[in-house]
Chains A and B, each alone.
Chain A
Amino acid sequence: MTFEPAYPIATRTLDNGLRVVASPTPGIGLVAVNLWYDVGSRHESPDRQGFAHLFEHLMFQGSRHVEPGQHFALVQGHGGSLNATTSFDRTNYFDTVPRGALDLVLWLEADRMAYLEDVLTPQNFRTQVDVVGAERRQRMDNVPYGTAFELLLPLVFDADHPYGHLPIGVLAHLDEATLDEVSAFHARYYTPSNAVVTIAGDVTPDEAFAKADSYFGGIESRERPKRELADPLPPRREPVLRQEVQDVPTAAVWWAARLPADEGMSRELAAAVLAASILGDGETSRLHRRLVRADETATGVGVGVNTLIGGNSLGMVSARAASSVDPQAVVDAVGEELRRFAVEGPTGEEMERARAQAEREWLDEMATAAGRADALSGCALLQDDPGLLNQRLGLLQSLHADEVRTAGETWLLPALSAELRILPSGKGGDGQ
């Protein structure tokens, strides 16, 4: 069964180069405003890893007409929700509000796109460096296995590859950063032509374009930074294994693979996504059935894909060993299942289930104005085509089992070449 509501999409580019996408849903009473800037951790210089994310924090420290903290207070104080995230390829700012607060949100976003540096002080800059340090410790350093992703990346990409480090970056680099660098970063990347704003929800496209023009239209046009993408890398062949001993409850293993870059409608990447789902998504997946159910050697397994534009996307496989299980048994079983998939490919039923699950995930993503706005910004900024949103399910439906098998063999199987093991330091021991 195919169930695919198509969402209305209209686009306009303002004179200063800002791309505006509108997607109306009359009557819901809400509007989502979502900005993607074409800057992420892949743009950072090697001695400033983490700067794009620190910069995202500074965007909440006020701008020319907005006091520090006022952005959050105004949006939340009118019943809205807001936040921002920084990823490898982009930085994302999003607000969802009752429709009567749309002008307010556009004004707040425009003011910090136009004038950030006026109000930054050395003190609030340093405080945000501390806050980012606290964020890193809370999410990674004070959580068992929290640093696994960071340790894994340089195994699949070299450490100096744009995707060789995480957006959270290196705290020592941030300690050395200066306010001048903040101004230069804003001037370079936070230009109208380097951004997309999507306005989705209870507003007509004409209204959305007129309001976008009235708040953002006066912002000076600056040159859009040239998009530089790393060359695509072939799957990794030479094996690399890193082993760490940490204060964790049981052994766990991660693998990573270079996948095809996200080029909008890449069949190869879509096939790799379905292969990942069949291998490692949920209780019906092959790895769960083999390791958690049949062998009882693992307590959890997963395969995930991070779609990226800079030469390659990233695939990851993970397995947490049951206590007292030799992690080698886990490694062997994962290897067998990946090899078997590369030879046999998916069954017809597995294809149907993976498609149904993908359809369900898409409907979940589309269930909110914020979700629709985010997906549209992504298609518009990274692929220059918001209309791709309505073609995504069709692409998945059109894939053949043999394309999925081939993707498993070509792209996922080489994950076995980049392996990270985290072993427990032992109870009462002094893990590092």
Chain B
Amino acid sequence: MSTATIGTPPPVTPAGEWRFPRPQERRLDNGLRVLCLDCPGQHVVSVGAIVDVPLAAEPKAIEGVASLAAECLTQGAGGLDAEAFSDALAACGADMEASAGGDVFSVRLGVPSPWLERGLELLTMVLAQAALDPHEVGQRQRLRLEEIEQSLAYPTMVVGDRLNAEVFGSARLARPAGGSAETVAAIRRDDVAAFATGWLDPRRTVLVVVGDGVSRLAGGVLERTVGRWRPGEPEIAALPDEIVRVGTGTLVLVDWPGAAQAVVRLATPGITRADPRWAPLFVANYVLGGSFGSRLNTVLREQKGLTYGIGSGLDSSRTAGLLAIGASVRADAAAECVGEILSIVDAAHADGFTGDEIAGGVRAAVDSAPLGYERAEAVANRVEVLLAHRLPLDHVDLNLARMREVTAEGAHDVFADVVDPGAFTVVVAADAESQAEPLRALGRGPVQVVERPR
């Protein structure tokens, strides 16, 4: 049999040393810390204003106020009404979006490099002079309420919210980041203004600028724009972090009659990104469910054809970490899949990983860095994650160095130490008539069957 191609894979030349872009750091007179990171060839500059205020700062009765403030900030600012402001953004090919995350509040701007100064002007208007017009706030609030109601029709969202509620107990992470229908309805325009003026302050903000040539920003550009953002009075002290206790072990079945597929999601306590065991656990997870050829995907997709894809990942905020696993699976096989997933985790817990598996995971983690940080936006997002976790800016390089040291034994030790297979909380959306009994038969304790929310 003649072959036109050679029979064995050609050798791969090891990738050279790669380092995360070095930030150039300055502090402006208004207290704003600025980090500029050069990314050659990235002509859409990615800018982020990262404000040190967690969601836990929201008054409990009006949760969602931070997200609503985020939505409203770009609806008119600096003397421009909502339409004039969005026209101004579009005219320079820019987009801007604010969001309230668990650990930090951020306003992100993407703008072609020739328009960077104009983009920074518009960003400054938002940070310093957002209009928060009552009509705009009311309209955004109504849209947000519609969104909450519509989200109930999506099983993946319902399962995600329910899992957070089960896992995070009384912590802010247990409740939807954007608030519930009840708390959002209770927000008044003045609450939004109080949140924005109270927390958005240059002294508690880091401005991240990433793109081609940004470290050579023309003199005065920052001073003329974000430098004009005046600090408030008085400065608000940082909040102490919430103590988050991660709950374990419940099994909830959301009854979804006639569902075309079942949605399953599982989580067990993990670690935060700051933990030195992050690197070995990350590589272990690559083998478990963090890649296409992972154990979970190989069995559930490639061998059994039960799902289009299953993945697991390490979720981390500053205050809590999870190992989470999720998939959409065949409607009549939800219980079978949960059982299969747990037995794959059990096996990893008991027997660990092969040297080849871990070597592949290490190479994947280390050698994927240049690809993972090819775009300016990806670099900016990573800096935001580091700031949110209060990690130093050389943490990416430090973490890669730790990755290189991961061994099969080390990965197994950490996996066995951190992951408690008996502690998984499981949430399933499926037809209870067919799936309640097989889920009970897994022998993981009582199955709490709840109605699909409407």
> By the criterion CB–CB under 8 Å, are B454 and A299 in contact?
no
- The reply to whether the CB of A330 lies closer than 8 angstroms to some CB of chain B is no
Q: What residue in chain B is nearest A215 (Cβ atoms)?
A: B5
Known contacts A349-B87, A359-B112: A28-B6 contact under CB 8 Å: no
Segment of A68-76, A149-157, A231-239, A267-275 in the binding face: A68-76
Interface size on B, residues (CB 8 A): 82
Contact B91 A98 (CB under 8 A): no
- Among A183-237, those with CB < 8 Å from B are 215, 218-220
B370 adjacent to A28 (CB under 8 Å): yes
- B91 lies within 8 A of A363 (CB): no
B146 contacts the other chain (Cβ, under 8 Å)? yes
In the assembled complex, A107 has its CB within 8 A of some CB on chain B: yes
Interface centre among A100, A115, A282, A428 (most CB of B within 10 A): A100
Contact A69 B14 (CB under 8 A): no
Establish whether residues A73 and B150, one from each chain, have CB atoms under 8 Å apart when the complex forms. no
Q: Chain B residues near A104 (CB, 8 Å)?
A: 9-10, 12
Which residues 261-284 of A have a CB within 8 angstroms of B?
Answer: 282-284
Roughly how many angstroms separate A114 CA and B6 CA in the complex, as a whole number? 11
Q: Can you list, as one digit per residue, whether each of A90-106 has a CB less than 8 Å from chain B (1) or not (0)?
A: 00000011111101100
- B43 to A322, Cβ gap below 8 A? no
Given A25, A77, A366, which contacts B364 in the complex, CB threshold below 8 Å? A77
The docked-state distance in angstroms from the alpha carbon of A284 to that of B139 is: 16
Most buried by A among B4, B258, B263: B4
Whether A357 is near chain B, meaning CB under 8 Å from some CB there, is: yes
Chain B: minimal CB distance from A106 (Å): 8
As a 0/1 sequence over residues 44 to 59 of chain A, the CB contacts with chain B under 8 angstroms (1 = contact) are 0000000000000000
Chain A, residues 129-166, CB within 8 Å of chain B (1/0): the string is 11101110111011110000000000000000000000
Q: How far is the CB of B310 from chain A (nearest CB, A)?
A: 10
B328 at the interface (CB under 8 A from A): yes
Chain B 258-301: CB-based contact to A (< 8 A → 1; otherwise 0): 11110100000000000000000000000000011100001001
Per the bound structure, the CA–CA distance linking A360 and B92 in Å amounts to 9
Determine if B93 and A296 form an interchain contact, defined as CB atoms under 8 angstroms apart. Answer: no
Contact of B3 (CB < 8 Å), options: A103, A115, A367: A115
Task: Map CB proximity to A onto B3-26 as digits: 1 under 8 Å, 0 otherwise.
Answer: 111111111111110100000000
Is the pair B306, A323 in contact by a Cβ cutoff of 8 Å?
no
How far, in angstroms, from A88 to B367 measured CA to CA in the complex?
A: 34
A143 and B150 CA atoms in complex are apart in Å by 12
What is the interface residue range for chain A against chain B? 35 or more
- In the complex, residue of chain A having the shortest beta-carbon distance to the beta carbon of B291: A76
Taking a contact as CB atoms closer than 8 A, the residue among A5, A79, A299 that contacts B368 in the complex is A79
**Cβ contact within 8 Å between B93 and A360:** yes
For B86, the closest partner residue in chain A by CB is A283
Do A65 and B5 touch across chains, with their CB atoms under 8 A apart? yes
- Separation in Å of the A220 CB from the closest CB of chain B? 7
Q: In the assembled complex, which residues on chain B have CB atoms less than 8 Å from the CB atom of A96?
A: 371
A12 at the interface (CB under 8 A from B): no
> Contact partner of A249 among B92, B149, B260, B374, CB < 8 A?
B149
For B83, the chain A residues whose CB sits under 8 A away are: 284, 289, 293
- Tell whether, in the assembled complex, residue B293 and residue A73 are in contact, meaning their CB atoms are under 8 Å apart: yes
Q: Contacts A107-B10, A283-B86, A364-B44 given: A98-B150 contact, CB under 8 Å?
A: no
Cross-chain contact A78 with B371 (CB below 8 angstroms): no
Q: Which residue of A lies closest to B18 (CB)?
A: A29
Binary interface encoding of chain A residues 284-312 relative to chain B, with 1 for a CB under 8 A from any of its CBs, else 0: 10000100110010010000000000000
Q: Does A9 contact B (CB under 8 A)?
A: no
Contact B43 A363 (CB under 8 A): yes
Q: Contact check, A77 vs B41: say whether CB atoms are below 8 A apart.
A: no
Task: Provide the bound-state CA to CA distance between A359 and B90, in Å.
Answer: 11
Which of B139, B258, B366, B367 neighbours the largest number of chain A CB atoms within 10 Å of its CB? B367
B90 near A282: Cβ-Cβ < 8 Å: yes
Indicate whether B66 reaches chain A with its CB closer than 8 angstroms. no
Q: What 0/1 pattern do residues 367 to 379 of B give for CB contact below 8 A with A?
A: 1111100111000
Residue of A whose beta carbon sits closest to that of B136: A293
Tell whether B216 is near chain A: CB-to-CB under 8 Å: no
Chain B: which residue is nearest A123 at the CB level?
B303
Are A357 and B363 also in contact (CB < 8 A) when A3-B114, A283-B86, A349-B87 are? no
Q: Is the CB of A127 within 8 A of B328?
A: no
Given contacts A293-B139, A367-B376, contact A131 B308 (CB under 8 A): yes
**B302 contacts A68, CB within 8 Å?**
yes
A110 within 8 A of B: yes
Q: Give B4's nearest chain A residue, CB to CB.
A: A218
**CA A363 to CA B86, docked complex, whole Å:** 20
Judge whether A64 is part of the interface by a CB distance below 8 angstroms: yes
Contact with A along B232-263 (1 / 0, CB 8 A): 00000000000000000000000000111101
Contact code string B349-364 (vs A, CB < 8 Å = 1, else 0):
0000000000011011
Tell me if B42 is interfacial: C-beta within 8 Å of chain A. yes
Contact B368 A80, beta carbon cutoff 8 Å: yes
Q: Which of A124, A128, A349, A357 contacts B93 (CB 8 A)?
A: A357
Q: What are 14 A-B interface contacts by the 8 Å CB criterion?
A: A78-B363, A81-B368, A81-B371, A101-B12, A127-B304, A128-B305, A133-B305, A138-B308, A250-B150, A293-B82, A363-B93, A363-B112, A364-B110, A366-B43
The residues of A with any CB-CB pair to B shorter than 8 Å are 1, 3, 5, 25, 27-30, 64-65, 68-69, 72-74, 76-81, 96-101, 103-104, 107-108, 110-111, 114-115, 124, 126-131, 133-135, 137-139, 141-144, 215, 218-220, 247-250, 282-284, 289, 292-293, 296, 299, 322-323, 349, 352-353, 356-357, 359-360, 363-364, 366-369, 427-428, 430
- Interchain residue pairs A-B with the least CB separation, the first 8: A79-B367, A130-B305, A100-B13, A360-B93, A218-B4, A141-B260, A79-B368, A77-B360
Q: Known pairs A5-B43, A81-B368, A127-B304; list 12 more (Cβ under 8 Å).
A: A3-B114, A27-B40, A65-B8, A69-B292, A73-B293, A77-B293, A78-B12, A101-B12, A108-B9, A139-B308, A219-B5, A364-B44
